[in-house]
Amino acid sequence: MAWQTALRRASCRTPRRHRTRSLARTLLATAATLLTAAGTALVPVSDAVASETPGSYTNYGFPVGTSGFSDITFRTTVTQDPGQAANVFWSHQFDFTGGHTAYTGMQANGPDQQRTFLFSVWDATEAKAGSTGSECVDFGGEGVGKSCRLHREWVQGHTYRTTVTHEGDRWFAATVTDETTKDSFTLGSIRAAASTISPSGMVDWTEYFEWNDPRASCYDQPYSRAEFGLPKGDKETVSASVSSTKVSAACAKVSQVDRTTTGSVQTNGIGNSVRGPITGLGGKVIDASGGATNGTKAILYRATGKANQAWVLGADGAVHLMKSGLCLTVANNATAAGSPVQVSTCDGGTGQQWRAQNGTLLNPASKRCLAPHGGSSANGTALELADCDGGTPQKWTVPVTP
C-alpha cells in the first residue's frame, strides 16, 4: 500500500520512509484506516498527545484502464504560510511502474534554514543536478536513494507547478514553475526502475516533521493551509480525481481536508496561530533567556529569529515555545501584580492561559496583563504580570491566528 512507503523529511538531512515506529506515529494511527500514505476557543490540553503533530492526506485515482505516464504534473499553493520558523513539508508522492517510490514537494525548514524544493526517488543510484544552485545527494537510513533539491524562497499565494518528465533511458527530471512569476527551474534528474510513472498510489500530504521531537503536541504546531491540484499525466491530458482523504487521528481536531473542483485544500493547526515572534516595546520580542529549559525567565530582547523567540498561540489557550514542550507561564500560577513570567513545561495550568485582547496578552486567572518590568525596553528586561492599563509597554503584536 502507498502508506508503507510514504516518505519523510528530505531537506538538508536524510529523508526516511514512514515505517516501523515512524509509520505508527507519523501517520498517527491514520495509516491503519488510511491505507495510504488570540482569543480563540479553548480546547482541553488533555486532548493533545505528546510527540504527535497535525497531518493530512489526499489520495487519487485515475480513470479505469489508465496505464503508465511519461510525465506527471502536480500543483501546490500555500495559501497560509505557517511562518519562517515552521517545519512543514507539502509533498506529492507517486510510484514508477517498475518499482521505486518517489516524491516531489516544498518545505519550510525552520529558523536560519532556507526553504527548499525537492525531488527524491527511493532505491535510485544515479542522479544529476539541474538548474544552477541545485544539488543531488545520496540518502540512507531507513532505505537508500537519491535526492535532488534547490534552496529557494517560495511565496504564499503563488502556485508552483511541478512536472516530472521521462527524458529517456529511465531518467526523470523534475521541473518547477512559479505560475505567478513564470520563473522556472529544474531540481535535477534521477534514474528510476522504469520508463513510466504508475497511475496507482498517488497521494498528496502535509507533514509536520517535528513529530520526531518527543516534546511536540497538536497545539504547539503552526497553522497552515495549502491547495493541492489534481495530478495530471501525459502533458496534462489525463486527470486524476480525489478518491479519499484523511487526517492524522491524534490531531484530528486541528486538521481537515476539503475537496474542491480542482483538487483539495489541506488545513492543519486549526485554532493555532502561525509561528513567529511576539513583538512588544521598542520592537523587542519575547525571548526564553539562556535557552529553552524549564523555569527559564521570559525576557524582552532584540529579535534574532532564533527558535527561542518563535511562538505559537495554541488552540488550548497556551503560548507555546518552538521545539521545547514549554509554555509562557506565570511562575507558580501566581496572580499578583509583579509576579514573574517564565517558560515551563506545558501543563494546562491557569498560569499558562493567555488571551490576545485589545493588543495585550491577558492572563484570565489574574485579570492582569503581560508587561516588561518597569516598562523598560532594554535587552534582558524580565517580563511579569501588571495591572492592565492599555499602556504602550503592555502592547504586543502576536502571530496571526487565521
* Mean pLDDT, the chain cut into blocks of 10 residues (402 residues total): 34 36 29 28 36 92 96 98 98 94 97 95 97 94 87 97 98 98 98 97 96 93 98 98 96 97 98 98 94 92 96 98 97 98 97 97 98 98 98 98 97
DSSP state of 34: H
DSSP three-state, residue 382:
strand
| 82 shares its domain with 230 | yes
| 159 shares its domain with 259 | yes
| 263 shares its domain with 366 | no
| 261 shares its domain with 118 | yes
Q: Starting from the edge strand earliest in sequence, which strands make up the sheet with 116-122, in order?
A: 135-139, 145-151, 116-122, 101-109, 87-95, 203-208, 55-61, 241-247
DSSP three-state, residue 273:
coil
275 assigned to some structural domain:
no
| 230 shares its domain with 188 | yes
Answer with the one of 268, 303, 337 that is the final residue of a domain. Answer: 268
65 assigned to some structural domain:
yes
Report strand pairing: 241-247 vs 55-61: antiparallel
| 349 shares its domain with 256 | no
pLDDT of residue 36: 27
Name the burial class of residue 37, with classes exposed (0-12), middle (13-18) and buried (19+) by CB atoms within 10 angstroms of its CB. buried
**Structural domain that includes position 109:** 2-268
| 163 shares its domain with 58 | yes
Can you tell me the distance from the alpha carbon of 208 to that of 224, in angstroms, rounded to the nearest whole number?
Answer: 10
pLDDT of residue 292: 78
Can you tell me the distance from the alpha carbon of 217 to that of 248, in angstroms, rounded to the nearest whole number?
Answer: 12
How crowded is residue 141: how many other Cβ atoms within 10 Å of its Cβ? 11
Residue 383 host element (H or E): strand 381-386
169 assigned to some structural domain:
yes
Tally of helices (H runs) and strands (E runs) in the chain? 2, 28
| 191 shares its domain with 300 | no
pLDDT of residue 99: 81
How crowded is residue 14: how many other Cβ atoms within 10 Å of its Cβ? 18
294 assigned to some structural domain:
yes
Task: Outline where DSSP puts E strands in 309-396.
Answer: 311-313, 319-321, 326-330, 341-345, 355-357, 360-363, 368-372, 381-386
| 355 shares its domain with 255 | no
Nearest to 260 by CA among 24, 58, 33, 118: 58
List the grid coordinates of 127: 542522479
Question: Maximum CA pair distance of the chain?
Answer: 73
| 181 shares its domain with 257 | yes
pLDDT of residue 52: 85
pLDDT of residue 141: 66
Answer with the one of 268, 292, 314 that is the final residue of a domain. Answer: 268
pLDDT of residue 116: 97
| 111 shares its domain with 196 | yes
CB 93 within 8 A of CB 7: yes
Task: Outline where DSSP puts E strands in 263-317.
Answer: 263-268, 285-288, 296-301, 311-313
> 261 Cβ partners below 8 Å, 6+ apart?
none
Domain count across the chain: 2
Answer with the one of 268, 291, 322 that is the final residue of a domain. Answer: 268
CB 184 within 8 A of CB 158: no
CB 156 within 8 A of CB 84: no
The string of DSSP letters for 239-254 reads: E-EEEEEEE-GGGGGG
Q: What is the pLDDT of residues 272-329, one digit of tens each?
A: 999 999 999 999 999 998 777 999 999 999 999 999 999 999 999 999 999 999 999 9
pLDDT of residue 12: 39
Can you tell me the distance from the alpha carbon of 270 to that of 367, in angstroms, rounded to the nearest whole number?
Answer: 26
CATH of residue 353? 2.80.10.50
400 assigned to some structural domain:
no
